[in-house]
Amino acid sequence: MSNRELPLTEVTSPACEVTSVVRRPLTPVAAGDLAAAFKALSDPVRLRLLSVVASRSGGEACVCDLSEGFDVGQPTISHHLKVLREAGLLTSERRASWVYYKVVPQALQHLSQVLLMHSDTAEVHA
């Protein structure tokens, strides 16, 4: 029988110490949702766009104010804003001929909590 065929309960290491679970790990669905949000933030342009929106009063900015300082055109900015919206990090609202984008505070808080939760565990075991 090869190692690949061995049941996990039979594969042990003398150096492996069993530790207790202190919090529930992410479910596959939660991990997928978080991965989509982190993937959206993994692009420097999108991360900067979110930062620009968040830095405005009320966490809201008009699309007309979002292209300053970027080396990409308006269609690319619009695409990145769409990705951030689809990831649940921004909402949008049309007002007359302009679209306003607003940060979703709960989404950012959730991402922060996940990162802090796992960093607390790393500090304890480090």
CATH of the domain at 58: 1.10.10.10
Q: What's residue 108's pLDDT? A: 86
Q: Give the CA count within 13 Å in the CB-facing half-sphere of 72.
A: 14
Asked whether residue 86 is assigned to any structural domain, the reply reads: yes
Q: Is 10 part of a structural domain of the chain?
A: no
The average pLDDT across 99-124 equals: 78
Residue 111 is assigned to a structural domain of this protein: yes
Instruction: Let me know if residue 36 belongs to a domain.
Output: yes
82 in a structural domain: yes
Q: Show the domain range for 59.
A: 27-125
Question: CA–CA separation, 100 vs 117, rounded Å?
Answer: 32
**What is the per-residue pLDDT across 1-41, written as a single tens digit (0 to 9) for each?**
555 554 545 555 667 788 887 778 888 998 898 899 999 99
Structural domains counted in the chain: 1
Global pTM exceeds 0.75: no
Q: Which residues touch 90 (CB under 8 Å, ≥6 apart)? A: 50, 53, 81, 84, 101, 102, 103, 104
